[in-house]
Amino acid sequence: MPVSGQSFLQPMRELAQDAGALLMSLFGKVAIEYKGDADLVTQADRASEKMIVERIRKQWPDHDLLGEEGSRTQTGSDFRWYIDPLDGTTNFAHGYPVFCVSLALEHQGKRIAGVIYDPTRQEMFSASLGSGAQLNGKPIHVSRTLRLVESLLATGFPSHKRHKNPNIHFYHQITLRSHGIRRAGSAALDLCYVACGRYDAFWEFNLNPWDTAAGVLMVEEAGGKVTNFSGAPFSIESRQVLATNTLLHTELLHEFKEIFEGRVEGLPSVSEYLAG
Ligand code: 2AM
Ligand code: CA
């Protein structure tokens, strides 16, 4: 039986808001620790996840969950939570105020509800399957930009496998064909900004399920489209995310194909540049 995500939204918003308040109380006060080479974590990531997980386990004890900082419950429940207790950890750790809390709830393999809260701007994004997306309670919609040449886009560069990430080539080529690309450091917020029309599209390589679970639902419920880089439907395991206002999707897929096949505009070398 399909389950409505809507009834979960209010408790999810409360949870994200409380976790966001916790993050703000620690902002500027925590030390950087390392999970890997340039993969940062802070006490704030762990404290936020602990609070969220305790509350979920209390309110919905039979639900499964997956949290970025290691929380796992796998009992075969129909319900599964995806928790990013702090998306934008590198920003947070450096005192750069772009980060959020991201929560999504899945039922029988379908994401039915998602909330993303930016505590620095007090912006609460929420969406439930089939019922649209909202920012602070007001309906939001993707942009109406028709052409890449008139668009503002976003991308990101996860710390994981950064020596093998080809995204800088995509960054370069799409920069030449658009109004510009922002790289703010929180994939969940980037997806919200596509959903509310601040960006016309977003893409990223190598994301994890907790980075995308809520944001993809947000974009889809706001009238956008999300696929992998070949145009196949987005899957939570796919790691590639291309999210657009729908209108730009075909043009961006074409650009990606060109770049993957090596048809790119060159850059001047440093010595060419210096020679004028
Ligand atoms: P995080 O802050 O929760 O780690 C930046 O481009 C985006 O990539 C952020 O959303 C960031 O989420 C995510 N990110 C950073 N390191 C990552 C990793 N090792 N694997 C997947 N995503 C990562
Ligand atoms: Ca995180």
3-state secondary structure of 225: strand
Instruction: Give how far Cα 6 sits from Cα of 130, 138, 142, 217, Å.
Output: 9, 15, 21, 13
Q: What is the CATH number of domain 148-260?
A: 3.40.190.80
Is a pLDDT exceeding 90 seen at residue 39?
Answer: no
Q: State mean pLDDT over 65-80.
A: 97
Is a pLDDT exceeding 80 seen at residue 169?
Answer: yes
Q: What is the pLDDT of residue 158?
A: 85
Is a pLDDT exceeding 90 seen at residue 204?
Answer: yes
pLDDT band at 166 (very low <50, low <70, confident <90, very high): very high
Average pLDDT, rounded, for the chain: 96
| Separation of alpha carbons 45 and 31, rounded Å | 11
The pLDDT tens digits for 90-130 are 999 999 999 999 999 999 999 999 999 999 999 999 999 99
What is the fold of 6-139? Fructose-1,6-Bisphosphatase; Chain A, domain 1 (3.30.540)
- Amino acid in position 40: L
Question: What percentage of residues in the chain have a pLDDT greater than 70?
Answer: 100
Query: Is 158 touching ligand 1 by the criterion CB < 6 Å?
Result: yes
The minimum-distance atom of ligand 1 relative to the CA of 92 is: 2
The minimum-distance atom of ligand 1 relative to the CA of 45 is: 3
| Separation of alpha carbons 141 and 243, rounded Å | 13
Beta strand 64-67 with 72-73 is: antiparallel
**What does the domain layout of the chain look like in residue ranges?**
6-139, 148-260
Q: Nearest to residue 220, comparing CAs of 141, 124, 108, 144?
A: 141
Is a pLDDT exceeding 80 seen at residue 1?
Answer: no
Closest residue by Cα to atom 8, ligand 1, is: 158
Burial of 261 (0-12, 13-18, 19+ CB in 10 A): exposed
The pLDDT tens digits for 130-149 are 999 999 999 999 999 999 99
Residue appearing with tokens 């194909």 = 257
Strand locations in the chain, DSSP E? 33-34, 40-41, 64-67, 72-73, 79-87, 100-107, 110-118, 123-128, 133-135, 138-139, 152-155, 180-182, 201-204, 225-227, 241-244
Beta strand 138-139 with 133-135 is: antiparallel
Predicted TM-score of the model (pTM)? 0.97
Q: What is the pLDDT of residue 45?
A: 97
Q: Answer with the residue of higher pLDDT: 129 or 39.
A: 129
Contact criterion met (CB below 8 Å) for 91 and 182: no
Distance from residue 30's CA to the centre of ligand 2 (Å): 15
Q: What is the pLDDT of residue 100?
A: 98
pLDDT band at 35 (very low <50, low <70, confident <90, very high): confident
Name 247's Cβ contacts closer than 8 Å, sequence gap at least 6.
144, 145, 146
3-state secondary structure of 63: coil
Name 111's Cβ contacts closer than 8 Å, sequence gap at least 6.
5, 82, 104, 105, 129, 213, 214, 216, 217, 236
Q: Choose which residue among 159, 181, 238 to substitute to test ligand 1 binding: the one with the highest number of ligand atoms within 8 A of its C-beta.
A: 159
Instruction: Give how far Cα 186 sits from Cα of 100, 143, 190, 255, Å.
Output: 8, 20, 6, 24
3-state secondary structure of 91: helix
The pLDDT tens digits for 85-97 are 999 999 999 999 9
DSSP 97-136: S--EEEEEEEETTEEEEEEEEETTTTEEEEEETTS-EEET
Q: How many CA atoms are closer than 13 Å to the CA of 275, on its beta-carbon side?
A: 5
Is a pLDDT exceeding 90 seen at residue 38?
Answer: no
The minimum-distance atom of ligand 1 relative to the CA of 91 is: 2
pLDDT band at 2 (very low <50, low <70, confident <90, very high): confident
Q: What is the pLDDT of residue 120?
A: 98
Query: Is 156 touching ligand 1 by the criterion CB < 6 Å?
Result: yes
The pLDDT tens digits for 222-260 are 999 999 999 999 999 888 999 999 999 999 999 999 999
